[in-house]
Amino acid sequence: MALFGAAVLMGWFAWRLKNQRWKVVAFNLSMMLGLLGAFELALGWVGVTEEKAYWEGSYRLGYSADHPLLGYGPRDPNARVTSRKFYGDRMLYDVTYTLKEGQRHTPNSNEQSDAWALFFGGSFTFGEGLNDDQTLPFFFNEAAGRRYRVRNFGFHGYGPHQALRIVEELVPRDSAFQNAAEKHAFYLLIADHVRRAAGKTSWDHQGPRYQPVGDSVGLAGSFQDGKPWYFRHRVVR
């Protein structure tokens, strides 16, 4: 952009000159600077295009879908999803996500244990870009000697509102957890989760919306319910 600015300045200077010979020279310089600026811009555009991140695998083929409680979630609750991410011509990762009953599978979960560890959050908790045996819940249980029955409720783009809805509606349905002798719950928080809980994202218009009720919060429909009618009729996903 600096070259374009110099070209404009040189053109203005040429226009102001009285000497015809120097006017031609200045105009030619202005044109050269403009062409160099265009060339620089084109090179930058090509560079950005080549370095753009993209994905391959079943991750791109209808991986998520609407969910009546959480706004969205895995389309197939029991699936093996492949995901390969590239940046330009470089492959950043090539992984497989295993889902069981809508949750990220943790291979070292001790299904005979009466001690439970529940994990909530977004893509960090889920383990985006990681295989099943590379997630935080997996390493937690590995460090604990595989003594916990682990449930990973994290999912791409989730926030505190989804975690609360899961605790309210989905967790109580598991009678084994309700009767467990030992229970632990972990939530992985990043700053963006505040924005997500307020419904300020582009991907979660149907997520559960909570409003203050005394010293607590109460469910008040979805984020979409709290928007004007013209917003509710837009195609959002």
Read off the pLDDT of each residue in 46-75 and give the average, rounded to a whole number: 85
Label residue 39 by pLDDT band (50, 70, 90): low
pLDDT at 232: 46
Q: Could you read off the pLDDT of 131-161 as tens digits, one per residue?
A: 999 999 999 999 999 999 999 999 999 999 9
Judge whether residue 36 has pLDDT over 90.
Answer: no
Cα–Cα dist 69/236, whole Å: 17
Mean pLDDT confidence for 161-183:
96
Higher pLDDT, 3 or 165: 165
pLDDT band at 19 (very low <50, low <70, confident <90, very high): low
Confidence band for 3, pLDDT divided at 50, 70 and 90: very low
In the chain, the percentage of residues whose pLDDT exceeds 70 is 74
Closest CA to 63 of 88, 97, 34, 91: 97
Output the pLDDT for position 235. 38
Question: Which of 25-29, 46-50, 80-84, 128-132 has the least mean pLDDT?
Answer: 46-50
CA distance 39 to 11: 18
List the domain boundaries for the chain. Answer: 2-50, 53-187
pLDDT tens, position by position, 190-205: 999 999 999 999 999 9
Q: Give the pLDDT of residue 230.
A: 42
Of 191, 188, 88, 52, residue with least CA distance to 128: 188
Residue 225 has a pLDDT of 86
Q: Is the pLDDT of residue 107 over 50?
A: yes
Residue range 209-224: average pLDDT? 95
- Mean pLDDT over the full length of the chain: 86
Is pLDDT larger for residue 111 or for residue 12?
A: 111
pTM score, whole prediction: 0.75
**30-44, 60-74, 133-147: which has the minimum mean pLDDT?**
30-44
Confidence of residue 16 (pLDDT cuts 50, 70, 90): low
Write out 68-130 in H/E/C secondary structure.
CCCEEEECCCCCEEEEEEEECCEEEEEEEEEEECCEECCCCCCCCCCEEEEEECCHHHHCCCC
Determine contact, residues 126/152, Cβ cutoff 8 Å.
yes
